[in-house]
Each structure stands twice: as structure tokens, then as C-alpha cells.
């Protein structure tokens, strides 16, 4: 089954053609980083306008690159939640138009479920598992029972982990997005130079505003003797505090839930230290998405859609968008 996937939930316009859930014939995206970086964050109105400009030419380009025709596609999949409403509407409207014009079925994709599907593009993974979805907008621990079926167990009470990276980067004058550049700097610094606090939040919840504030305003006070507050040391010490919390809570969650498998997803899943910790762990079997599928992309959406289609979970022309993470996806018996 050949599925055309469209993903416009935030600031990447992405399109993919995927067969049978895992054979990626082509995928591409147009990033809006250049548009948003002067504001140090995503401006929703600009994001929607840019999706509108980029989407149709990108669909043509991806179809051509895959060496297929639009009429050979069996279904159209689109991310409809959660995300920026204006951005989601551009993708959903285009998908409805295509589905109607081509007389093909429409499949709605939950973006959080798609992030946890990204690792399935390159790994065989048994259910259930614990997924850690970490990006600029989300820090979520959830129990995944099937493709597209999950229950959140914990989330951030304030900033998302990627957002904390982005804000520290903005303060340090390193631009947007901050994750990749702080990750690189961290590799040259000493993670024990500064005693940044790890938030003590109940169970599987997270908090990143305290760490962010400490890194921005309290570095001198938290400096360990004999160390300097260099950019590299700030990045390395921040990264250790940010990622160790993710790692420790995920392992605790997997143990308490009695689930020995962990799947990572989202832009922060590209982080070198996070990947190292989960690659080296002996406590669980960890599945990491290929780096090209960590941040927003349409291959994960089209891949997941195949499994929703197999269950007959099709959408119709009344499909709407939603900004928030659902409390629990519909669980089938
Ligand atoms: O999934 P994504 O592309 O978009 C959403 O936010 O949905 O994630 C982007 C986030 C940004 O906050 C970015 O700074 C962060 O992922 N990020 C990283 C790394 N690469 C991207 N954070 C830490 N380390 C990285 N290597
Ligand atoms: Zn995302």
C-alpha cells in the first residue's frame, strides 16, 4: 500500500511517499528555520503562510523524486493534531483536496504517535513499550500499546526540554534552534564544571524552567571550584542535567510499568548524549530513530498511517485539527 504523507504541524513542511509502513520511496522537507530564527522561536502566523507557499510544489517534487504518479498513491495521510492550528489546517486542507480530487481515502495522523513510529521505520519493535518524545514542544513519557495507540504517563509542567535548549542558546547568542549547537559545544566542555539543579518533580513529570533559569542567571554561583564558566562548560553541564533527568525518569518508568523496551522520538532524540546513554544502557532495550527521522518529517506520518489503514481507521471530509495532546488515544479492544 502506497501512502502519500503530509506533515505541517509546526515549522517544517514535509512530504513523503512510503510503502507498507516502512519502505520510504522518497521524503523531503522545507525547513522554516531561516524565517523564524530572527524571532528566536516559531511565529505561528508566518509558519502557516510559509506552509501554504511550500506544500504543493513540495508534493510535486517528492512524487517526481519517488518516480511514481499521484494517481498510483493508495491513500493520503495527514497530521491533524497536536500542533499549531494554522499550520495543521494548511496540511489538512491540502490532504482533503487531494483525497477528494483523486478519490482516495484520507488517514488522520496523531503527531505524537508519529514521533514514536519514527523508530519503527528502521527497527522491528514489539508492543507494549515506553516512548520518550522530546522536542521543542513536548517532553512526554507514554505507554504505547499499538501503532497510534498510547496513553501519556508524564509530561513537562513548564518548558519542554528542546525549548530549554533553545532559550539557553538565545541567551548565549547562539541562535535558533539551540539544541544542535549546544550539543556540539557540550562535547568540548566539562559536564561537572557547574552544579546545575535537577528538578525534583513527582513521578514521570518534568520541569525545565528551573534548569534554564539557573543556566542563564546563576552559573557563577553554581560553579565548582577550579572551573571556569566557559560556553563549553555551560553547555556540557546544562546538557548533563537536562538529559540525565530524561534518562533516569524513563528507566524508572519502564521498570515500574514492567516494560523492558524504550523508544525515543522527537528533535531532541538527535542529541548525542541522550543517544549515548540509551545505547549504552543495560536496563532496557532502547530503539533510536535514524537521525533523519528524529525531528518533524512526513515519513513517520505516512508509515504510521499504513497501520491505521490496516485497522480501517480512515478519516472523512469532516476531519478537523486540534492543538493539544490527547489524554489517551482511542483504544480498541
Ligand atoms: O521535533 P522537532 O523538530 O520540532 C518540534 O519541536 O516539534 O524538535 C525541535 C527541537 C528544538 O528545540 C531543537 O533545539 C531540538 O529539537 N534539538 C536538539 C538537538 N537537535 C534538535 N536538542 C538537543 N540536542 C540536539 N542535538
Ligand atoms: Zn514534532
| Residues in a beta bridge with 206 | 156
Tell me the best of 36, 165, 166, 274 to mutate to test the pocket of ligand 1, counting ligand atoms within 8 Å of each CB and taking the most. Answer: 165
Q: Under a CB-based contact definition with an 8 Å cutoff, are residues 191 and 237 in contact?
A: yes
pLDDT in tens, 271-313: 999 999 999 999 999 999 999 999 999 999 999 999 999 999 9
Task: Report how far ligand 1's centroid is from the alpha carbon of 90 (Å).
Answer: 22
pLDDT (0 to 100) of residue 331: 42
- For residues 280 and 300, what is the distance between their CA atoms, to the nearest angstrom? 25
pLDDT (0 to 100) of residue 329: 62
- For residues 206 and 139, what is the distance between their CA atoms, to the nearest angstrom? 7
Spatial CB neighbours of 330, under 8 Å, sequence gap ≥ 6: 149
pLDDT in tens, 33-79: 999 988 878 899 999 999 999 999 999 999 999 999 999 999 999 99
Q: Which ligand is nearest to the CA of 270?
A: 1
Spatial CB neighbours of 289, under 8 Å, sequence gap ≥ 6: 118, 119, 121, 122, 264, 265, 269, 300
Task: Report how far ligand 1's centroid is from the alpha carbon of 180 (Å).
Answer: 7
Asked if the model's pLDDT at residue 330 lies above 70, the reply is: no
- For residues 248 and 68, what is the distance between their CA atoms, to the nearest angstrom? 45
pLDDT band at 176 (very low <50, low <70, confident <90, very high): confident
The atom number, within ligand 1, closest to the CA of 137 reads: 6
- For residues 53 and 317, what is the distance between their CA atoms, to the nearest angstrom? 23
The finding on whether 315 has its CB within 6 A of some atom of ligand 1 is no
Going through 60-219 in order, the beta strands assigned E by DSSP cover 75-81, 106-110, 129-134, 139-146, 149-154
Tell me the best of 135, 137, 169, 178 to mutate to test the pocket of ligand 1, counting ligand atoms within 8 Å of each CB and taking the most. Answer: 135
The atom number, within ligand 1, closest to the CA of 160 reads: 12
Tell me the best of 140, 266, 267, 271 to mutate to test the pocket of ligand 1, counting ligand atoms within 8 Å of each CB and taking the most. Answer: 267
pLDDT (0 to 100) of residue 251: 98
DSSP 309: H
pLDDT (0 to 100) of residue 218: 94
* Length of the chain counted residue by residue: 333
pLDDT band at 332 (very low <50, low <70, confident <90, very high): very low
pLDDT (0 to 100) of residue 37: 85
The finding on whether 175 has its CB within 6 A of some atom of ligand 1 is no
Q: In what order do the strands lie in the sheet with 129-134?
A: 149-154, 139-146, 129-134, 261-265, 285-287
Asked if the model's pLDDT at residue 155 lies above 50, the reply is: yes
Going through 126-258 in order, the beta strands assigned E by DSSP cover 129-134, 139-146, 149-154
Q: Under a CB-based contact definition with an 8 Å cutoff, are residues 216 and 172 in contact?
A: no
Q: Which ligand is nearest to the CA of 36?
A: 1
- For residues 150 and 131, what is the distance between their CA atoms, to the nearest angstrom? 9
- When the pLDDT of each residue in the chain is averaged and rounded to a whole number, the result is 95
Q: Under a CB-based contact definition with an 8 Å cutoff, are residues 163 and 136 in contact?
A: yes
The atom number, within ligand 1, closest to the CA of 270 reads: 26
Tell me the best of 47, 177, 183 to mutate to test the pocket of ligand 1, counting ligand atoms within 8 Å of each CB and taking the most. Answer: 177
- For residues 271 and 269, what is the distance between their CA atoms, to the nearest angstrom? 5
Task: Report how far ligand 1's centroid is from the alpha carbon of 125 (Å).
Answer: 24
Task: Report how far ligand 2's centroid is from the alpha carbon of 5 (Å).
Answer: 15
pLDDT in tens, 82-112: 999 999 999 999 999 999 999 999 999 999 9
pLDDT band at 26 (very low <50, low <70, confident <90, very high): very high
Asked if the model's pLDDT at residue 115 lies above 70, the reply is: yes
Amino acid at each position: 500500500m502506497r501512502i502519500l504523507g503530509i506533515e505541517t504541524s509546526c515549522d517544517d513542511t514535509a512530504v513523503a511517499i512510503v510503502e507498507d509502513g516502512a519502505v520510504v520511496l522518497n521524503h523531503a522537507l522545507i525547513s522554516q528555520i531561516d524565517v523564524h530564527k530572527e524571532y528566536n522561536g516559531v511565529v505561528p502566523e508566518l509558519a502557516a503562510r510559509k506552509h501554504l507557499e511550500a506544500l504543493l510544489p513540495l508534493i510535486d517534487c517528492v512524487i517526481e523524486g519517488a518516480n511514481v504518479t499521484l494517481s498510483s498513491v493508495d491513500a493520503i495521510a495527514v497530521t491533524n493534531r497536536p500542533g499549531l492550528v494554522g499550520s495543521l489546517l494548511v496540511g489538512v486542507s491540502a490532504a482533503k483536496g487531494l483525497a477528494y480530487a483523486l478519490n482516495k481515502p484520507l488517514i488522520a495522523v496523531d503527531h505524537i504517535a508519529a514521533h514514536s513510529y519514527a523508530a519503527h521505520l528502521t527497527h522491528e519493535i514489539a508492543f507494549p513499550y515506553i516512548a520518550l518524545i522530546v522536542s521543542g514542544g513536548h517532553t512526554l513519557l507514554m505507554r504505547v500499546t499499538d501503532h497510534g495507540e498510547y496513553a501519556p504517563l508524564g509530561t513537562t509542567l513548564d518548558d519542554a526540554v528542546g525549548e530549554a535548549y533553545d532559550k539557553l542558546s538565545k541567551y548565549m547568542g547562539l541562535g535558533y534552534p539551540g539544541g544542535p549547537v549546544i550539543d556540539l559545544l557540550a562535547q568540548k566542555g566539562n559536564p561537572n564544571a557547574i552544579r546545575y539543579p535537577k528538578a525534583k518533580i513527582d513521578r514521570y513529570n518534568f520541569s525545565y524552567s528551573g534548569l534554564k533559569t539557573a543556566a542563564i542567571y546563576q552559573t557563577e554561583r553554581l560553579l565548582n571550584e577550579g572551573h571556569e564558566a566557559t560556553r563549553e562548560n555551560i553547555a556540557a553541564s546544562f546538557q548533563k542535567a537536562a538529559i540525565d533527568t530524561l534518562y533516569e525518569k524513563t528507566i524508572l518508568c519502564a521498570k515500574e510499568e514492567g516494560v523492558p523496551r524504550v523508544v525515543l522520538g522527537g528533535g531532541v532524540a538527535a542529541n548525542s548524549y541522550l543517544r549515548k546513554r540509551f545505547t549504552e544502557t543495560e536496563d532496557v532495550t532502547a530503539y533510536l530513530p535514524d537521525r533523519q527521522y528524529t525531528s518533524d518529517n512526513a515519513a513517520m506520518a505516512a508509515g504510521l498511517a499504513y497501520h491505521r489503514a490496516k485497522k480501517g481507521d480512515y478519516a472523512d471530509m469532516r476531519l478537523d485539527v486540534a492543538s493539544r495532546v490527547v489524554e489517551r488515544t482511542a483504544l480498541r479492544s
